[in-house]
C-alpha cells in the first residue's frame, strides 16, 4: 500500500512553522542573552550579588568580559535583567495555566507544579535558572520601580485565582491579599532547600506542597478546641540575655535597627552611617560597638536566631500537641516580625554574609527549622496533624515566616493576633473548601 503523500507546503506555509533558523541573528542574540541571565541567576542565588562579578559570569560561560558588555553594561543592569526575565516567565506561565485549566484548584496545583518543575529543570540543565528576587532593594529607583510593578502584576494574577476559587465555592473565604502573600512567601525559598534534593523526587514534593496549601497541615477530624488558634502572643523571654550592662542595651538597639535596614534595603543598599543617624548616635559611638557592616549583618542573624531558639525552648516545655506547637511557633514568629521586639532577619541577605559567617548561620538555621519539623512529626504521631511530608511543610512554613514582615506593604496590621491567624490560614487549614 502506498503511503499517503504529505501535503505540499508553500513558502507562506513554511513561514508560519515554529522553526527558528540557526542563521537568525536575532534568535542567536536572544539565546546568548538567555544563557547569560540563567548563569547569572544561578550565581546570584548561590553566591549573592555582592560576591558575584561580571567576570565570574563571563568565565563560567567561556566568554570574555568584553563580550559580556555587549549584553549588559553593569552588574546592576544584569541583576535587573535577571529579575525582569524571571517575572516575565512567571507571568507567561500563569497565563498559560489559566488558559489550560478552568478550575482555580487545578490552576493553583499547576502553578505550584510549574514552580517546582522550573527548579528541577534548572538543576538538570534542561532550563533556565530562575533568579530569586533577593536584591530588589539594591536597584536604583527607576529599575526598582519597574521590577516592583512587574511583581505586583504577578501578585494580582495569583490573587485573582484565589478570589475566583472563593467565588466558585472551591476555596474557603480567606483574606485574599494575605493568603496570596503567605503562599508566595512559602514558595519563595524553594530554590534553596530543593538544591540538595534528588531531581527525580522533586515532582512528588511539588504534589506534597500543593496538598498542604490546599488542605493544610491540621487534621480536621481530630481538631483541638476552636480557640487553639489564638496563641498567646507575648514578648519572647529575655532571661537568657544579659541586659544588665548598658552596652548590651545599646548593642540590641543596633541589631534591631540593622535588621530593619537590611531587610528593607538589602546589604548593598544599607550604610552604617544611615543606621547611626536613625539611632541618633554619633558615628564614633556607633563604630565603637559595630566595627563593620559585615560584622553587623552577622550579629543581626545571630540575634534573630537567639530569639527563635528561645521560642523553641519555651515551646518544648509546654504540654501542647504537635499542631498547637506549630501554631504557637508560627504566630509567635509573626509577632516578632511585626512588633517592636523584632523583626527577624530575612533570608534575602544571607548570600551577602562572608563564607566564614554564612556556614554557622546556615547550620543554626537548619537546626531551628528542624525544631519545627519535630513539632510536625509530633502532630502526626498524636494525630493532630495530617500524614504530610514534613520536609515540605517545614520549609513552606519557614518561607512564610521569612516573608511575614513584608505583609505591611500589602495591608495594614492593626491586630497582630488576628492577622497572624489570617496569614497562616492556608498552611494550617488550607484553601480548599472541604
CATH number at residue 371: 1.10.357.10
Domains contained in the chain, number: 2
| Domain assignment present for 18 | no
Do both 133 and 184 map to the same domain?
yes
| Domain assignment present for 174 | yes
| Domain assignment present for 404 | no
What pLDDT score was predicted for residue 225?
43
CA pair distance 15, 207, nearest whole angstrom: 40
Tell whether the model's pLDDT for residue 134 goes beyond 50. Answer: yes
3-state secondary structure of 222: helix
- Give residue 163's domain range: 88-214
CA pair distance 376, 394, nearest whole angstrom: 8
Give the confidence band of 216 by pLDDT, cuts at 50, 70, 90: very high
Do both 110 and 208 map to the same domain?
yes
Give the torsion through C-alpha atoms of 227, 172, 346, 397, to 10 deg.
Answer: 70
Reading the block at residue 253, the C-alpha cell is: 538597639
What pLDDT score was predicted for residue 239?
43
Say which range, 82-91, 242-251, 313-322, has the weakest mean pLDDT.
Answer: 242-251
Give the confidence band of 121 by pLDDT, cuts at 50, 70, 90: confident
Do both 163 and 115 map to the same domain?
yes
72 within 8 A of 81, measured Cβ to Cβ: yes
| Domain assignment present for 80 | no
Do both 235 and 337 map to the same domain?
yes
| Domain assignment present for 76 | no
User: Average of pLDDT values for 273-298?
Assistant: 86
Domain boundary among 164, 183, 214: 214
Domain boundary among 214, 230, 247: 214
E-state strands within 148-295: none
Tell whether the model's pLDDT for residue 3 goes beyond 50. Answer: no
Do both 321 and 259 map to the same domain?
yes
Tell whether the model's pLDDT for residue 5 goes beyond 50. Answer: no
| Domain assignment present for 34 | no
Do both 278 and 369 map to the same domain?
yes
CA pair distance 22, 28, nearest whole angstrom: 7
Domain boundary among 180, 214, 248: 214
Do both 250 and 350 map to the same domain?
yes
CA pair distance 396, 393, nearest whole angstrom: 5
User: Average of pLDDT values for 325-345?
Assistant: 88
Q: 0.85 cut: is pTM over it?
A: no
Do both 164 and 274 map to the same domain?
no
| Domain assignment present for 318 | yes
Do both 368 and 234 map to the same domain?
yes
Nearest alpha-carbon partner for 331 in 224, 434, 420 = 420
Helix (H) or strand (E) holding 56: helix 54-60
| Each residue's pLDDT tens digit, 404-420 | 988 888 888 888 888 99
3-state secondary structure of 160: helix
Do both 229 and 295 map to the same domain?
yes
Do both 270 and 327 map to the same domain?
yes
What pLDDT score was predicted for residue 27?
62
286 within 8 A of 272, measured Cβ to Cβ: yes
Looking at the chain, the whole-number percentage of residues with pLDDT higher than 90 is 40
CA pair distance 247, 19, nearest whole angstrom: 68
Whole-Å CA distances, 193 to 187, 292, 298, 304, 333: 10, 30, 21, 20, 20
What pLDDT score was predicted for residue 183?
96
What pLDDT score was predicted for residue 246?
54
Helix, strand, coil percentages for the chain (3-state, nearest 5):
70, 0, 30
DSSP 108: H
| Domain assignment present for 233 | yes
Do both 260 and 228 map to the same domain?
yes
CA pair distance 297, 352, nearest whole angstrom: 8
The CA angle 320-325-331, to the nearest 5 degrees, is 130
Amino acid at each position: 500500500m502506498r503511503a499517503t503523500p504529505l501535503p505540499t507546503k508553500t513558502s507562506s506555509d513554511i513561514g508560519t512553522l515554529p522553526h527558528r533558523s540557526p542563521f537568525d541573528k536575532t534568535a542567536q542574540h536572544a539565546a546568548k542573552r538567555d544563557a547569560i541571565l540563567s548563569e547569572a541567576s544561578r550565581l546570584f542565588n548561590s553566591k549573592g550579588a555582592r560576591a558575584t562579578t561580571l567576570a565570574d559570569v563571563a568565565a563560567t560561560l567561556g566568554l570574555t568580559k568584553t563580550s559580556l558588555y555587549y549584553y549588559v553594561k553593569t552588574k546592576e543592569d544584569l541583576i535587573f535583567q535577571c529579575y525582569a526575565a524571571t517575572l516575565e516567565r512567571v507571568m507567561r506561565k500563569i497565563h498559560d495555566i489559566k488558559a489550560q485549566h478552568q478550575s482555580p484548584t487545578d490552576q493553583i496545583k499547576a502553578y505550584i507544579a510549574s514552580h517546582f518543575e522550573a527548579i528541577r529543570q534548572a538543576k538538570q540543565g534542561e532550563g533556565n535558572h530562575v533568579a530569586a528576587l533577593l536584591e530588589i532593594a539594591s536597584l536604583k529607583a527607576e529599575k526598582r520601580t519597574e521590577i516592583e510593578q512587574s511583581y505586583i502584576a504577578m501578585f494580582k494574577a495569583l490573587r485573582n485565582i484565589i478570589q475566583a476559587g472563593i467565588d466558585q465555592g472551591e476555596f474557603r473565604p480567606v483574606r485574599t491579599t494575605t493568603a496570596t502573600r503567605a503562599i508566595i512567601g512559602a514558595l519563595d525559598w524553594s530554590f534553596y532547600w530543593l538544591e540538595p534534593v534528588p531531581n527525580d523526587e522533586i515532582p512528588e514534593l511539588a504534589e506534597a506542597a500543593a496538598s498542604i496549601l490546599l488542605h493544610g497541615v491540621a487534621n480536621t477530624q481530630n481538631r483541638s478546641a476552636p480557640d487553639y488558634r489564638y496563641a498567646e502572643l507575648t514578648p519572647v523571654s529575655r532571661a537568657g540575655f544579659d541586659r544588665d550592662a548598658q552596652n548590651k542595651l545599646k548593642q540590641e538597639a543596633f541589631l534591631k535597627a540593622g535588621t530593619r535596614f537590611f531587610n528593607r534595603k538589602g546589604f548593598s543598599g544599607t550604610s552604617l552611617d544611615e543606621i547611626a543617624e536613625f539611632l541618633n548616635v554619633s558615628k564614633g559611638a556607633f563604630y565603637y560597638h559595630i566595627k563593620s557592616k559585615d560584622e553587623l549583618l552577622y550579629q543581626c542573624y545571630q540575634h534573630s536566631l537567639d530569639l527563635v531558639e528561645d521560642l523553641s525552648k519555651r515551646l518544648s516545655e509546654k504540654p501542647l500537641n504537635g499542631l498547637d506547637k506549630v501554631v504557637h511557633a508560627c504566630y509567635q514568629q509573626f509577632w516578632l516580625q511585626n512588633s517592636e521586639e523584632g523583626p527577624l532577619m530575612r533570608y534575602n541577605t544571607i548570600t551577602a554574609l562572608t563564607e566564614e559567617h554564612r556556614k554557622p548561620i546556615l547550620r543554626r538555621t537548619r537546626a531551628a527549622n528542624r525544631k519545627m519539623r519535630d513539632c510536625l512529626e509530633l502532630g502526626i504521631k498524636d494525630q493532630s496533624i495530617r500524614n504530610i511530608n514534613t520536609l515540605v511543610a517545614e520549609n513552606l512554613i519557614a518561607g512564610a515566616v521569612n516573608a511575614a514582615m513584608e505583609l505591611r506593604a500589602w495591608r495594614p496590621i492593626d491586630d497582630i493576633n488576628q492577622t497572624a491567624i489570617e496569614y497562616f490560614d492556608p498552611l494550617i487549614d488550607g484553601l480548599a473548601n472541604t
